Chain A
Amino acid sequence: MSQFDVLFQPLNINKLTIRNRIVSTAHAEVYATDGGMTTDRYVKYYEEKAKGGCGLCICGGSSVVSIDSPQSWWSSVNLSTDRIIPHFQNLADAVHKHGGKIMIQISHMGRRSRWDGENWPNLMSPSGIREPVHRATCKTIEVEEIWRVIGDFVQAARRAKEGGLDGVELSAVHQHMIDQFWSPRVNKRTDEWGGTFEGRMKFGLEVAKAVREEVGPDFVVGMRITGDEFHPDGLNHDDMKQIAKYYDETGLIDYFGVVGSGCDTHNTLANVIPNMSYPPEPFLHLAAGIKEVVSVPVIHAQNIKDPNQAKRIVEAGYVDFVGMTRAHIADPHLIAKIKNDQVDQIRQCVGANYCIDRQYQGLDVLCIQNAATSREYMGLPHIIEKTEGPIRSVVVVGGGPGGMEAARVAAERGHKVTLLERNEELGGQITIAAKAPQRDQIAGITRWLVMELDRLGVEVRTGVTADAQMIRDLKPDVCVMATGGRPYMDQNPAWGAEEGLVVSSWDILNGKVEPGKNVLIYDTICEFSGLSAADYLSSKGSLVEIVTDDIKPGVGIGGTTFPTYYRSLYEKEVVMTSDFLLEKVYREGDNLVAVLENEYTGQHEERVVDQVVIENGIRPNEELYYELKEESRNKGQLDVEAMFDIKPQPILSESGDGMILWRLGDCVSQRNTHAAMYDALRLCKDL
């Protein structure tokens, strides 16, 4: 008996039985290489989800059917050639072996791409209107080309079927070719492929008909659609209900996947993969609206991360399947954990969107907090086995994400682990980051690690500032130094850090320093920290200007997250100024004067404020490391070749006296949460 039984009621899509109601929906993995062929990495990534119990994986978001829909920008899967078939067979076998099902999304992306690479195609769209997000200009597609693309869809579907996949999903979402034809915002045609409702529907319908004819009645053909484009001149929810009903009535479509929001502008794109600033399942009502009018199962993803939430959605009948895609990236074993009554052990997605923001930059999809995801092929484990070697005494100094992950992994290996943390609570910089408005959920990374450390019996000592003698007294076999860093405010002495003229973004977010009335933030990093400080201060009523010498404040933040910052900052009238260096700060009466210099003209400007906040990254806390380095067996050094190859550090199998000392995370150099946790996992998994 389980409260989650409803999630484990199998349901058929066409004749395909899906073992539970949880789906990993289509996303671009950016793992297909060699002209779009799926790799071992790709297969293992999906195999892990199937092994973990996922009911249905829809792989290959935006996999292309035609050679003039470029795949190389996102290393997406290329279905325009028969070469893909044997790759699919490997993929299908790997998933089927564990009782999962796998389909692929197929698409022609039309204008939603880039033309300046690969085959240098002219991108095509119903009416040749430019797409802003990719700055993609395009031609008006000709009727001959329309029929050719329809034929490409057919061949792609055949290849998926011959490769043993369980179905194809036609992408009519995210402003790909099919929904470019649907949307009056983009389709201005007056021929039979536009104009009327039927005209705008014709391309998608011809694709569906031709594909169905090729694959036969039993092979699953689904369609992913938007629930509302959220553009005044686009398709609204009623339009989408009409469209869904229209296609449903053809009987050609076996399921609908529904995504809230269009995504051909930066701002709408952020809706599609809601980050941590969104409420849970913000667009469920749109999917439920589509379910009202169709007769086949409806799948809906978007911010469904928790089994209770998933259960509630399915139980209430809003949709038939819940997409838990990022939830699976964070923990591909989440279903197994539900089944094993280990819900508390699920590593829950926090909506940091590290995965998708990398993808939009054409980088491989990784999880901010689970370094094993998509590195299964390298031998990085999701389930860490106990060691068969000696049980070691491990001391981890520093309870940030890197230190906590090191402690967790070492404890999973069965070692005796002590974690020392200077602050009263664990979390390191995550704790600071979570203080910002709309960023509190990032603390979920810490929450899970704290619970795991407790479950694994790690001795956690907080409020303890470790020194060399304390560590010597603990007589560790291995000491992992993860002491993080401190704000780097004295890079330019003229900022006046020593005189106390400026404060750090940390002190602002931690609440150590009262917000000023009129604040200038100088942000050289241009990632979360600066915008978070600006958002925090403006939410406390400060007048804020954020200045950077870079191209734009927040420029280092990915495409699904900077828009939610901008929405908040513009609303609170935060001024964003780029291309200015902070030259110096001086006091004038009760005020501070910040002298700015234009990067390109050398022109000076001054700002009279009452508070200057510096966000200039961090300097490593490395003093303790250097104190212990000489007496350690390995002089603090890592065998980087072994580390990069995910092999055990050779010193672990050598005999010797004294401790092994490793240093990871920001106490080496400033990187990010994922980097620190990746190092912790790859070093400690063989401890």
Chain B
Amino acid sequence: MVIDWLPSVLIVVLLALGVIGALRRVSLWRAGQPEKVNLIAGLLAMPGRYLKDLHHVVERDKYMSRTHVATGGGFVLSMVLVLVVHVFDVNEQIVAWALLGALLIMLTGAFFVFKRRLNPPARLSKGPWMRLPKTLMIYALTFIVLTLPAAGILPEGAGGVVLTAVLSVGVVIGLGELLFGMGWGGPMKHAFAGALHLAFHRRPERFGGGRSTGLKPVNLEGDVLGVAKPSDFKWNQLLGFDACVQCGKCQAMCPAFAAGQPLNPKKLIQDMVVGLAGGTDANYAGSPYPGKEVGNAKGGPDEIITAGLVSQETLWSCTTCRACVEECPMMIEHVDAIVDMRRFLTMEKGETPNKGSEVLENIIATDNPNGYAPSSRTNWAADQNLAVMKEKQEADVLFWVSDGAFDMRSQRILRAFVKLMKHANVDVAILGDEERDSGDVARRLGDDATFQSLAKRNLATLGQYKFKKIVTTDPHAYHCLRNEYGDFDTDGALAGVEVLHHTTFLNQLVQSGALKLDAFKGGKVTYHDPCYLGRYNGEYEAPRELLRSLGIEVAEMERSGFRSRCCGGGGGAPITDIPGERRIADMRMEDASETGAELVAVGCQQCTAMLEGVVEPRPEVKDISEILVDQLVEEVH
């Protein structure tokens, strides 16, 4: 037959075009900044990361995980076998049968993807993604028919030229999507970029059940501080953006998006893709940034991002809650990207909005965000009889007080915690006026220079004293001390030191019997997971166990645990204060109210402040230490 050879040629051609596209894509990533990655080890680890870590995330949606296993698995297997059968002409019937099997699996998977796409949830992008299940099915059907002769089901040459022509069209459509599209920016790009992203991920610690949430330090000696242009990102960050499947799970979890602030993490990542490849967002077919029209953004690898691609407001709307990161099946690091871009705005342009620059100036001048006299840091403890490290030099526990020291509401939390520690006879000391702001707010606002300065000075202070544990009631300071100070701890001030959140520590005290508590007598209680305790540090259980130890059965909110909704207080968001349609804290309080709870237990002074800022009537808000202290069994004097 004259055109028998056509499908095979087409396969090779499309494969070659795909490879060319892929190489071009790689060159786009390479425009990014160098970042050391062990390429070989990464590639070797990739299948495992895919099968375990990525699948772990995808599996939260069972329907999607099954269809993806079928579709993706079917495709990878079938593609290899297509080459074997149809390009290298291996004439083993069993191989053809295997290929048929793989294609059938893929067809089934693609069918269910198709079914979901009939009435897709709002978070999903439309556009080419609506086409994808159909082209996948065309691919599968085409190759099923093409393979029937090899499997001995149909005689060779059955169907004649017409069928071959039809099938050739099928090959073009199917492999056009799968191979050509993969290399040239179609939806299937996700498979190629996604696989490489898994291999060359900037935070390999995240794989295998690990957690990596600390921001990467800025090289303060570098030419540009932070990210001004797409090409200022590390190359593997650019790669990560390309892995996005536009599933919109980030968007569905984003508190700023829900509040109508101009941020949609999915759109942001897509804008990064526009930036790295050059062009406009005209083809973006997902939800916009609330309040902003799609189609006006344009950019290129060497164009300033905030000069047309992404508005500054979008970047300052983020609370750094990591809900998007936690939810992303492609392990994309949205928060890193946002803070990288904020760094440029703050450190190079001095354009931190609203109260931002004032707060940063305060931190620089007074070592605390609200500009209180540094010497008043320990005023709250005047009647607490707390040992100060400067005098004591050594203690089991160093209580990191944090900037709640200046805030009357937070002081109640501090006093409650101190009382609990005293009852448990904990050998504790504070740094007193030697303590400085942890740098959390400065860092999230993009001022890494100030953060680094604070970190180094705090570490120098800590290095003078001996202690086994640092305990703090502030999850933000906890995160900095535990996950971010390490990059600067050249003298090992924290070597061998356990950094704990107070709920973890109190739970140890309660479980060991050092604290005796009465049963809680109040009404229904729900628990709000602070982002920097939960998602940033994985501590979901200790607060709940503490509440259980009071006999409280936590009435869980729908969004709880790793899916907890932010209070709106992180990332300097209350300072940059980007307007939306609603306040995040109000939404969070609605979540709480829906449980019927009379009391919201919290483990963060920032969350307490945000949630208490919600107008009444609403449930009461208390830190867990305050709840515990009310139930403390005190000896009668």
Contacts and interface: CB of A to CB of B under 8 A. Distances in A.
Contact of B384 (A9, A20, A99): A99
Contact of A97 (B370, B412, B637): B637
Contacts of A94: 637
Interface string A86-99: 00000001100111
Contact of A8 (B370, B379, B521): B379
A682 to B, nearest CB: 24
A19 B379 CA distance: 7
Nearest to A339: B408
Interface string B159-195: 0000000000000000000000000000000000000
B160 to A, nearest CB: 84
A10 B408 CA distance: 14
A17 B409 contact: no
A2 B409 CA distance: 9
Given A1-B406, A1-B408, A388 B521 contact: yes
Contacts of A2: 407-408
B382 A339 contact: no
B383 interface: yes
A87 to B, nearest CB: 15
A100 interface: yes
22 contacts: A1-B370, A1-B407, A2-B407, A2-B408, A4-B408, A5-B372, A8-B379, A8-B380, A9-B376, A9-B379, A10-B379, A10-B382, A18-B382, A19-B382, A20-B382, A94-B637, A99-B384, A99-B385, A339-B408, A339-B411, A340-B412, A341-B408
Contacts of A388: 521
A277 B637 CA distance: 43
Contacts, number: 38
Interface in A86-134: 93-94, 97-100
B119 to A, nearest CB: 47
Nearest to B373: A9
Interface of A: 1-2, 4-5, 8-10, 17-20, 93-94, 97-100, 339-341, 388
Contacts of B412: 339-340
Interface residues of B, number: 17
Contacts of A97: 637
A478 B408 CA distance: 40
Contacts of B380: 8
Contacts of A9: 376, 379
A97 B423 CA distance: 13
B422 to A, nearest CB: 11
B521 A19 contact: no
Nearest to A12: B382
List of 9 A-B pairs having minimum Cβ-Cβ separation, nearest first: A99-B383, A10-B382, A19-B382, A19-B383, A2-B408, A339-B408, A17-B382, A10-B379, A9-B379
Interface in B522-538: none
Interface in B365-414: 370, 372, 376, 379-380, 382-385, 406-409, 411-412
A662 to B, nearest CB: 27
B518 to A, nearest CB: 13
A93 B637 contact: yes
B628 to A, nearest CB: 18
A9 B409 CA distance: 16
A100 B383 contact: yes
A93 B380 CA distance: 21
Contacts of B384: 99
B175 to A, nearest CB: 63
Nearest to A53: B383
B113 to A, nearest CB: 53
Nearest to A99: B383
A114 B284 CA distance: 95
Given A97-B637, A341-B408, 4 more contacts: A1-B407, A2-B408, A5-B376, A18-B382
A303 to B, nearest CB: 26
B623 to A, nearest CB: 14
Contacts of B382: 10, 17-20, 99
A341 B384 CA distance: 20
A314 to B, nearest CB: 13
B329 to A, nearest CB: 42
Nearest to B384: A99
A5 B383 CA distance: 15
B181 to A, nearest CB: 55
A97 B383 CA distance: 9
Contacts of A17: 382
A99 B383 CA distance: 4
Nearest to B380: A8
Q: Which of A19, A20, A100 has the most CB of B within 10 A?
A: A19
B81 to A, nearest CB: 68
A100 B382 CA distance: 10
A17 B382 CA distance: 7
B221 to A, nearest CB: 37
Nearest to B409: A341
A1 B521 CA distance: 31
Nearest to A340: B412
Contacts of A8: 379-380, 408
A341 B608 CA distance: 14
Q: Which of A1, A17, A94 has the most CB of B within 10 A?
A: A1
A5 B408 CA distance: 8
Contacts of B379: 8-10
Contacts of A99: 382-385
Contacts of A1: 370, 406-408
A19 B381 CA distance: 8
B326 to A, nearest CB: 32
Contacts of B637: 93-94, 97
A8 B407 CA distance: 11
Nearest to A9: B379
Nearest to B406: A1
Nearest to A93: B637
